[in-house]
């Protein structure tokens, strides 16, 4: 976070939802994945046993593929459990990146499976002796597996979209890869019954490429998130539009974004009226944060930095002295005037490379209007003699 401790008052507000404990999200992720894990364990046993009994190497191989889905389900369960742990001292931003890492692993897993299916299919296509001639029981088993896998894909994808979970989407596509694999096995077994064993190998190569491509996309997107790639351009444009409509925001700059477990994380510098109070600037920042959360469902965390002037390309106040040093110089300059007792409050504004001074003086300390004018002229002139002082204003009350 870019900070200018000696240039202007600012407001940093952290909305700590990243990695925050979300029982509902974890519960739904756990339930859908447990269902899939149990189904995969049952299907693995059934496919391998029936494959052995019916002499179907394809069904046995598909059973091993299903076993890989079971392993993936276990990875998802572990990741979902720990990714939803609340932020702590060692992990102040939470544990959401565990979900991203799990998605990367699943993507790589899918890519490897796609390559494996393609290589195996090419091998069988080039060696007719490896063509499969299974029995009809294998055809029934592969059809049931196909239906079960597609149902698992559809159900998991519904929950993944609801939770906007890339990890669950990856796991859903893993179910779809198994469903496609089962479809190929079904087609291969059916084709072998009609004396066309080559259909299996050709279709498997196509499917292997599809699965590998999906795995690559998931792995690439997860890796992109791990290295803090920004949100999509259209999402950034939406964020800018929403912020610009908030009352009190004059401009925005230095907008940065990234993703964490499928949600957007944003920090932004807002330009507001330079003479606003700290509390009003803070309130504008709060309004921006709340508005972004209300209007953009892909936003999870917002950090707002309030600026009185645009400091994106230059920092004109960078070398100016802090308040205590400025006040020391001012009191020294005013000492000969004997006005220390008359000044109630001093407000400093660091703007355009100089320090603007506001002085608040109770009228009861002055005798009449002429003394007010004399006081104003004298102290203003004396104040401007101090280094780095720009505009001087007096307010009588």
Residue 105 has, within 13 A of its CA and on its CB side, a CA count of 17
The closest of 15, 12, 16, 14 to 281, measured between CA atoms, is 12
- Sequence-ordered strand ranges (E) for the chain: 13-14, 251-260, 263-271, 299-307, 345-351, 354-361, 389-396
Instruction: With beta carbons less than 8 A apart as the criterion, state whether 177 and 114 touch.
Output: yes
Give the Å distances, CA to CA, from 170 to 33, 38, 65, 99.
12, 18, 16, 11
Given a cut of 90, whether residue 313 has pLDDT beyond it is no
- Interval 199-214: pLDDT, tens: 656 666 776 777 778 7
Give the DSSP letter of residue 89. S
> Mean pLDDT across the chain, nearest whole number?
79
Domain chopping of the chain, boundaries:
23-226, 231-307, 323-396
Task: State the pLDDT confidence band at 329, using cuts at 50, 70 and 90.
Answer: very high
Q: Higher-confidence residue: 316 or 19?
A: 316
Task: State the pLDDT confidence band at 12, using cuts at 50, 70 and 90.
Answer: very low
For residue 355, what are the β-bridge partners? Answer: 350, 389
How does DSSP assign 178-198, residue by residue? HHHHHHHHHHHHHHHHTT-TH
* Percent over 70 (pLDDT), the chain: 82
Given a cut of 90, whether residue 241 has pLDDT beyond it is yes
Instruction: With beta carbons less than 8 A apart as the criterion, state whether 395 and 359 touch.
Output: yes
> CB neighbours (10 Å) of residue 90?
6
The closest of 306, 308, 304 to 353, measured between CA atoms, is 308
- Interval 33-53: pLDDT, tens: 888 888 888 988 888 888 778
- Interval 255-307: pLDDT, tens: 888 877 667 888 899 999 988 888 999 999 999 999 998 888 888 788 899 98
| C-alpha dihedral (33, 38, 44, 47), degrees to nearest 10 | -120
Quickly name the fold that domain 323-396 has.
Answer: Alpha-Beta Plaits (3.30.70)
Give the Å distances, CA to CA, from 98 to 145, 187, 262, 289.
31, 38, 12, 26
Instruction: With beta carbons less than 8 A apart as the criterion, state whether 160 and 100 touch.
Output: no
Per-residue model confidence (pLDDT) at position 365: 65
Residues 392-396: contacts with CB under 8 Å, at least 24 apart: 392/356, 392/357, 392/359, 393/356, 393/357, 393/358, 393/359, 394/358, 394/359, 394/360, 394/361, 395/358, 395/359, 395/360, 395/361, 396/361, 396/362, 396/363, 396/366, 396/372
State whether residue 6 is helix, strand or coil.
coil
Quickly name the fold that domain 23-226 has.
Answer: Alpha-lytic protease prodomain-like (1.20.1510)
* Percent over 90 (pLDDT), the chain: 14
Task: State the pLDDT confidence band at 389, using cuts at 50, 70 and 90.
Answer: very high
- Interval 127-148: pLDDT, tens: 766 665 667 787 888 889 889 9
Residue 298 has, within 13 A of its CA and on its CB side, a CA count of 15
- Sequence-ordered strand ranges (E) for 25-116: none
Per-residue model confidence (pLDDT) at position 104: 81
CATH of domain 231-307: 3.30.70.1350
Query: Is-same-fold flag (23-226; 231-307)?
Result: no
Q: Higher-confidence residue: 29 or 366?
A: 29
- Interval 48-96: pLDDT, tens: 888 778 777 677 777 777 776 777 777 777 766 766 676 677 766 666 6
Model pTM? 0.60
């Amino acid at each position: 976070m870019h900070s200018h401790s000696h240039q202007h008052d600012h407001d940093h507000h952290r909305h700590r939802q990243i990695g925050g404990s979300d029982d509902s999200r974890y519960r739904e992720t756990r339930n859908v994945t447990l269902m899939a894990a149990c189904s995969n364990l049952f299907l693995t046993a059934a496919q391998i046993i029936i494959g052995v009994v019916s002499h179907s190497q394809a069904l046995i191989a598909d059973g091993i593929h299903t076993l890989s889905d079971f392993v993936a389900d276990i990875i998802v369960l572990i990741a979902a459990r720990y990714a939803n742990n609340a932020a702590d001292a060692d992990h102040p931003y939470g544990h959401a990146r565990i979900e991203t890492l799990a998605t990367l692993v699943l993507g790589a897993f899918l890519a490897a499976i796609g390559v494996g299916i393609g290589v195996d299919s090419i091998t069988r296509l080039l060696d007719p002796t490896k063509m499969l001639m299974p029995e009809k029981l294998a055809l029934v088993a592969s059809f049931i597996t196909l239906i079960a896998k597609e149902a698992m894909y559809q159900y998991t994808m519904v929950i993944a979209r609801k939770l906007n979970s890339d990890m669950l989407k990856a796991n859903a596509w893993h179910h779809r890869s198994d469903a496609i694999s089962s479809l190929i096995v079904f087609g291969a077994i059916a084709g072998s019954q009609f004396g066309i064993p080559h259909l299996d190998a050709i279709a498997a190569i196509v499917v292997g490429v599809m699965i590998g491509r999906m795995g690559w996309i998931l792995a690439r997107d997860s890796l992109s998130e791990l290295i803090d790639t920004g949100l999509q351009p259209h999402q950034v444009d939406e964020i800018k539009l929403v912020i610009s409509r908030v009352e009190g925001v004059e401009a925005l700059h230095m907008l940065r974004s990234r993703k964490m477990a499928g949600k957007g994380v944003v920090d932004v510098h807002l330009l507001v009226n330079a003479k606003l109070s700290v509390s009003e600037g803070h309130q504008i920042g709060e309004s921006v944060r709340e508005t972004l959360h209300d209007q953009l469902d892909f936003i999870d965390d917002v950090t707002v930095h309030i600026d009185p002037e645009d400091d994106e390309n230059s920092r004109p106040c960078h070398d100016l002295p802090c308040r205590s040093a400025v006040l020391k110089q001012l009191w020294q300059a005013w000492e000969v005037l004997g006005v220390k007792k008359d000044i109630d409050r001093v407000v400093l504004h660091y703007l355009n490379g100089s320090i603007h001074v506001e002085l608040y003086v109770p009228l009861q300390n002055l005798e009449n209007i002429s003394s007010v004018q004399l006081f104003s002229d004298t102290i203003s002139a004396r104040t401007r003699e101090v280094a780095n002082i720009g505009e001087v204003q007096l307010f009588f009350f």
